[in-house]
Amino acid sequence: MGKILAVTLVIVAIVSAVPIVMHTWPPPEDISTHGYAIDKQMDETMLEAGFSFLAAQLLLALFIWQYAGRQKQDKLKTFPGGAKGLVIAALVLVGSEILALGVIGQKAWANVYFAPPDKDAMTIQAQAGQFAFYFRYPGADGKFGGMHPDKIDEGNQNFFGLDPENDVDSRDDIVAAELAIPANRQINLMLHSKDVGHSFYVRELRIQQDFVPGLDLAVHFTATKPGRYEIVCTQLCGLGHYNMKAYLSVLFQEEFEKWLKERAGQ
Amino acid sequence: MSQEAAIAHHGPPTSFLRKHVFSVDHKVIGKQYFALAIVAVFIGMILSWLMRFHLVWPNAALPGLQWLSKVGAPAGVMTPEYYLSLLTMHGTLMVFFVLTNAPFAAFGNYFLPIQIGAEDMAFPRFNMMSFWTTFAAFVVLMAAFFVPDGPPISGWTAYAPLSAVGSDAGPGQGLGQTLWGLSIAIFCIASLLGSLNFISTTLDLRAKGMTLMRMPVSTWAWFITSCIALLAFAVLLPACLLLVLDRIAGTSFFIPAGLVISDRLQPHSGGSPLLWQHLFWFFGHPEVYIAILPAMGIVSHILINSMRRPLLSHKVVIGSMMAIGFLSYMVWGHHMFVSGMNPFSALVFSFPTLVITIPATVLTLIWLGSLYGSRLQITTASLFSLGFISMFVSGGVSGFFLAQPSIDIYLHATYFVVGHFHLVMGVAAIFGIFAATYFWFPKMSGRMMNETLGKIHFWFTFVGAYCIFMPFHYLGLAGNVRRTSSFVYDYAQPLIPVHKFITIAALCTGAVQFIFLINLLYSRFKGAPAPDNPWNATSLEWTVPSPPPWNNFGGKHPVVYHDPYQYGVEGASGDFIMQNSPEKVPVRS
């Protein structure tokens, strides 16, 4: 029975690795300027984790194959180097792996979070609420009007609680249900939650950031490839969570200007 | 404490109620915890069946489901919110009432006192109270199924403010969520009492000669776990109380100002949703180790017996488990990389998370290195122990990805995480529970379990668990988001066949668990009578009759002469010397 277990372990290990090696269900193509660092980090981690996984499973299988069913007359053998050798091996192998991943990983993380947005980045506000996203552009004046939670009135399309009667800044704000952005221009996205926790996840952008009620956060990114991508809520937000999505349209500059103009005219 | 103080904690039970229901005997309490965990695990498993079925056949009716909830499953088809209710209840049942109760409270209660040569726990009445408090927590949680708007829908992590604002946040967020908060608070009290008992018993009631380093690895694991649990549940308890206060007393610990929910401006201000996340994960990450450390100890204990040799180093194993316990308190923030914490803190939490793989790797290498050159005997218990190592490795390596904040940006909240924690915390820990059951059942019941049924159970469970949980990683790498009741996203459509495969594997693997249940019940009443020491083992639990009398050692005081694992010794009548045998240890072969 030991030998069957050994063979099963080998089969399980190899079959598990096949879809990874063959890229059967790969991540979507990266469309951001920072994503390559994340993808590279992922590939390197896959290599190291995959090696650890295969090595451990195959060694387990090998030792079970060799030593299962041995009896009292068979001599017990001690692993060369004993416990001390194994502790040193773990410290050196895993320790160096950690240092390597830690250092490279820091760079990939820093790309997204440590560098402040460029001065000419375009600021857009995203608001998440049960169960839709809305996006706001500051309009010609470049200023967002203030938000008043008591003025939120979805029936009248006042999703952000704007007060155009008293607040000049808010009069030219453009509100849309999809996020249109120009390609190759940095976007500084400010995240505001209307009610509970939500999250902004675009797989192709390699961006995921929670909306935390009461805490306005910002992420910045540059999309390089025009197209239409899904924005998905990944933070459990209630009964309609499964259906909370919007679209990201990455447009050429002139298309984007046209899009904005159409909405400003409304 | 001196030996005398340990004598005659309590007399023999005098009535049916005192013997079987309100017993102060740690063995009866251990079995009660085990029975509760079995009930919880089958409910939890059936909930997962319902969810998996709904995910891939969203419009098919499940006859009888409307009986469970008319609103949640009209005509037998569950609504998206009822899916979230089942998800919440599945997670809560499994994490608290199975993975905390079975490996730690059940087997720890039964075997820790016997393994150290004590007659009972330090505080037998507290011990009884721990179980019945846990039972009360279970009843309160189950009650959430039967309240008008159904069980809570905010997941086992109950993130505020969704969990804190009341029924405005949706169905299930009314009375159901309040019951959830109360149930977990009650559970915390029970666990605190239990941990104190475990710690006092280990430190004070050891038999003569039972030095700390002579305690079996399993006892060490329960001891370290109880230290972790004492600190972890002490944080979750106030967190749950504050949550309940936010819900029923109008406080705003976790709710900020200006929230508009269900078109209503919420009458709260000043709270912080991140505070809940910090408190919850300060408990939540150590909880992972509360589930897995006892399994590590149990599996080591069983493998040593099956390999007929001690591990390469007793001290290194114990040191590694302590290191894991210590580090488990420094890593909670890795659950919050994308939550809006200061980005610098992500790096601070990432580093110890990566470092914790060092003691985990040491343990794995020690198990592998000890297998080398051993005399491994294959039993159902050793099969599940070897399966544990395989599952622990498979679930552990994916931690490398999630420990790095940059990669977590992509993988957070995807099925990759689901695969990771199910393998490492769920399946691995449950393999530890299975191994413990097959190994110790003879001692607990006085009867052997059926090994043929046990092996059939192992093979299907081992292959089945891989078929279920390995594909979750592939889905996650493709960006498939978790916690949705159906796949409305365009990108998810090509992934549905993978989900179908997982569902079929889950239904089959779940069905196989009934073989275990049948074996358990059949062997309890009809199994072959068990000798006192069926596995030729060395530790003290095998020196007492199967099952042990109410006072364990029959009123005698065991004296310990050896390290716990004198296997592979030459010249002895067998190849082992028991811990309480005055026989000298000859040179090890």
Q: Is A201 on the interface with B (CB under 8 A)?
A: yes
Q: Is residue A161 part of a domain?
A: yes
- Give the global pTM: 0.96
Which segment, A106-120, A214-228, B562-576, is predicted with the most confidence on average? A214-228
Q: Is residue B154 part of a domain?
A: yes
Nearest 5°: the CA angle B583, B585, B587 is: 150
Q: Do A72 and B357 touch (CB under 8 A)?
A: no
> In which domain, by residue range, is A39 found?
2-69+80-113
Q: Do A87 and B362 touch (CB under 8 A)?
A: yes
The pLDDT of residue A3: 94
Q: Is residue A91 domain-shared with residue A211, that is, in the same domain?
A: no
Q: Is residue B12 part of a domain?
A: no
Q: Is residue A135 domain-shared with residue A225, that is, in the same domain?
A: yes
**What band does A266 get if pLDDT is binned at 50, 70 and 90?**
low
Q: Is residue A238 domain-shared with residue A109, that is, in the same domain?
A: no
**Type of residue found at A259:** W
The pLDDT of residue B587: 59
Selected residue of A15, A193, A208, A247 to mutate for chain B interface (largest B Cβ count, 10 A)? A208
Q: Is residue A132 domain-shared with residue A199, that is, in the same domain?
A: yes
Q: Is A149 on the interface with B (CB under 8 A)?
A: yes
Q: What values do phi and psi take at A204, rounded to 5?
A: -65, -30
Would you tell me which residues 163-192 of chain A have a C-beta closer than 8 angstroms to some C-beta of chain B? none
Q: Is residue B3 part of a domain?
A: no
For the ranges A70-84, A179-193, A195-209, which has the lowest average pLDDT?
Answer: A70-84
Q: Is A105 on the interface with B (CB under 8 A)?
A: yes
Contacts B338 to A, Cβ<8 Å: 199, 208-210
Q: Do A242 and B475 touch (CB under 8 A)?
A: no
Q: Is residue A75 part of a domain?
A: no
Q: What values do phi and psi take at A100, rounded to 5?
A: -60, -55
Contacts A106 to B, Cβ<8 Å: 347
Q: Provide block-wise average pLDDT over 10 residues at a time, chain B (589 residues).
A: 52 87 95 98 97 94 88 91 96 97 96 96 95 98 94 95 93 94 98 97 96 97 97 97 96 96 93 96 96 97 96 96 95 93 89 93 96 96 98 95 93 97 96 98 97 97 97 96 91 94 97 97 96 96 95 92 90 82 72
Q: Is residue B161 part of a domain?
A: yes
How many domains is chain B built from? 1
Q: Is residue A138 part of a domain?
A: yes
Q: Which residues contact B464 (CB under 8 A, 6 or more apart)?
A: B505, B508, B509, B512
Q: Is A23 on the interface with B (CB under 8 A)?
A: no
Q: Is residue A108 domain-shared with residue A186, that is, in the same domain?
A: no
Hey, is B60 helix, strand or coil?
coil
Q: Do the Cβ atoms of A59 and B368 come closer than 8 Å? A: yes
Q: Is residue B2 part of a domain?
A: no
Q: Is A26 on the interface with B (CB under 8 A)?
A: yes
The pLDDT of residue A110: 81
- CATH number, domain of B55, equals 1.20.210.10
d(Cα B324, Cα A157) in Å, to the nearest integer? 53
Q: Is residue A18 part of a domain?
A: yes
Helix axes B357-371, B273-307, angle to 10 degrees: 10
> In which domain, by residue range, is B473 found?
25-256+271-577
Contacts B482 to A, Cβ<8 Å: 234
Q: Is residue B78 part of a domain?
A: yes
The pLDDT of residue B3: 45
- Give the C-alpha distances (Å, rounded to integers) separating B387 from A212, B171, B433: 41, 41, 12
Task: Report how far Cα B552 is from the mean position of its chain's Cα atoms.
Answer: 26
d(Cα B476, Cα B486) in Å, to the nearest integer? 16
Q: Do B397 and A53 touch (CB under 8 A)?
A: yes
Q: How far does A124 lie from chain B, in Å, by closest CA? A: 18
Place of tokens 């944080």: B235
CA atoms within 13 A on the CB side of B436: 27
- CATH number, domain of A243, equals 2.60.40.420
Q: Do the Cβ atoms of B292 and B325 come closer than 8 Å? A: no
Q: Do A59 and B368 touch (CB under 8 A)?
A: yes
Averaged pLDDT, A97-111? 79
Q: Is residue A139 domain-shared with residue A214, that is, in the same domain?
A: yes
Q: Do A98 and B389 touch (CB under 8 A)?
A: no
**What band does A218 get if pLDDT is binned at 50, 70 and 90?**
very high
Q: Is residue A137 domain-shared with residue A261, that is, in the same domain?
A: yes
Q: Is residue B555 part of a domain?
A: yes
Q: Is residue A74 part of a domain?
A: no
Which residue of A lies nearest to B414 if distances are taken between CA atoms?
A234
- Residues A31-46: tens digit of each pLDDT: 999 999 999 999 999 9
Q: How far does B459 lie from chain A, in Å, by closest CA? A: 9
Q: Is residue A126 domain-shared with residue A256, that is, in the same domain?
A: yes
Q: Please state, rounded to an integer, the average pLDDT across all residues of chain A.
A: 93
How many domains is chain A built from? 2
Q: Is residue B4 part of a domain?
A: no
The pLDDT of residue B572: 59
Q: Is residue A253 domain-shared with residue A135, that is, in the same domain?
A: yes
Q: Is residue A167 domain-shared with residue A108, that is, in the same domain?
A: no
Which residue of A lies nearest to B489 if distances are taken between CA atoms?
A230
Q: Is residue A106 domain-shared with residue A188, that is, in the same domain?
A: no
